[in-house]
Structure 1
């Protein structure tokens, strides 16, 4: 099953590239977000000045494939993810209030498969609150994987996330749309999270 996924599905997508040198940049609104962290992709972070540099290589995106980037954010005025900050309670704010309903701003730069010059797509990220169980099943599954990985590595920022939380999310993503798991990837994650939970409880 693993060989089919890697050499069949993933490799086929690589050969059917629809965009190359894809770069994503997110700027968070300091009037709304005080802290943020990227979950995963830490080893792929580009210098800010490289976003507009077409000479810098980036990732390829294959046909029918999607990429999910997860950020954990701390709303302004709430306790941060990291150590206490001297100016955490400062009333200092940006001068521009017209974008107060924006969580941030998203930019995506990419090249056509045979092109050398990049194109830019950008749009604001509207400030909204949605329960995790109302998110798309792909996002729920991505959260299950991210939480599982951070629990395994004993991340300092995992808080009270348990293996069972990943199990629940992964099962939910299958139940809502069984056709999303034709290759068994999500069921395999459920098995892994249940095994990890059982091993932890047996200690």
Structure 2
């Protein structure tokens, strides 16, 4: 019984689709006669300028580049989270080579309250912090390309005749030696 009803409904839909096509042809036939278009449209021409092996090689190179970029981001985020959650003694032994140099410098100048806020933020906010974008983590300074996390009240002059790396180390050590380091970012 159900099978007969299903067959009747299927036949009804087939007939209605056929009637709809017939009506469409009846309505559009004068326009096709006037404007053309009664026949099938020609297929567009396409001649590729790359072979399939070149295309696959390019695809594979792009895929590997994207995978290595994502892996380096993950390594940097994992390192930052490990550094932020670790104790002061453990932080001294953590290798920060997976973190970009400007973010590394900012990370080294942060105090315990800022590191605690960074660790509580989560990986997605740490990624935006690492990229130097507006991260929205309260109490954590933004990563800047100059390496300074906040404006200095008096201009800091590095000793003359030092390399860029020595200047960065000198700035970090000078910044860490201040007793009122990052008081405006404290949480408690």
TM-score (ref. length: structure 2): 0.22
Greater C-alpha radius of gyration: 2
TM-score (ref. length: structure 1): 0.21
Give the number of the structure whose residues are more often helix, by fraction.
Answer: 2
Give the number of the structure whose residues are more often strand, by fraction.
Answer: 1
